Amino acid sequence: MLQVRQVVKSFGRMNAVDGADFAVPQGSITGLIGPNGAGKTTLFNLIAGSLIPDSGTIVFDGQRIDGLTPDRVFHRGLARTFQIPRPFPKMTVLENAMLAPTRQAGEVFWSNWLRPGLVAAQEKANRDRAVEVLGFCGLGSKLSELAGNLSGGQQKLLELARVLMNEPRMILLDEPAAGVNPTLMETLVDKIVALNRRGITFLLIEHNMDLVMRICRPIVVMAQGKVIFEGEAEAVQRDARVLDAYLGDLPA
Q: What is the full DSSP assignment across 124-171? A: HHHHHHHHHHHHHTT-GGGTTSBGGGS-HHHHHHHHHHHHHTT--SEE
| Helices 182-197 & 152-164 angle (0-180, nearest 10) | 10
In this predicted model, which residue has the larger pLDDT, 118 or 54?
A: 54
**62: exposed, middle or buried (C-beta count within 10 Å: 0-12, 13-18, 19+)?**
exposed
How are beta strands 14-24 and 2-11 bridged, if at all?
antiparallel
Q: Provide the CATH topology of domain 2-86+165-247.
A: Rossmann fold (3.40.50)
> By three-state DSSP, how is residue 233 classified?
helix
In Å, how far are 31, 56, 202, 217 from 7, measured between CA atoms? 18, 4, 20, 22
Domain boundaries, the chain: 2-86+165-247, 88-149
Say if residue 248's pLDDT is above 60. no
Between CA 7 and CA 179 the distance in angstroms is 30
- What pLDDT was estimated at residue 251? 44
Residue 37 per-residue DSSP state: T
Of the pLDDT bands very low, low, confident and very high (cuts 50, 70, 90), residue 252 is: very low
pLDDT in tens, 85-123: 989 999 999 999 999 877 665 565 656 556 666 667 778
Between CA 209 and CA 83 the distance in angstroms is 16
pTM, two decimal places: 0.88
- Of 121, 183, 193, give the one whose Cα is nearest residue 160: 193
pLDDT in tens, 144-176: 999 999 999 999 999 999 999 999 999 999 999
- What mean pLDDT, rounded, does the chain reach? 90
Of the pLDDT bands very low, low, confident and very high (cuts 50, 70, 90), residue 184 is: confident
- Of 157, 160, 156, give the one whose Cα is nearest residue 171: 160
**12: exposed, middle or buried (C-beta count within 10 Å: 0-12, 13-18, 19+)?**
exposed
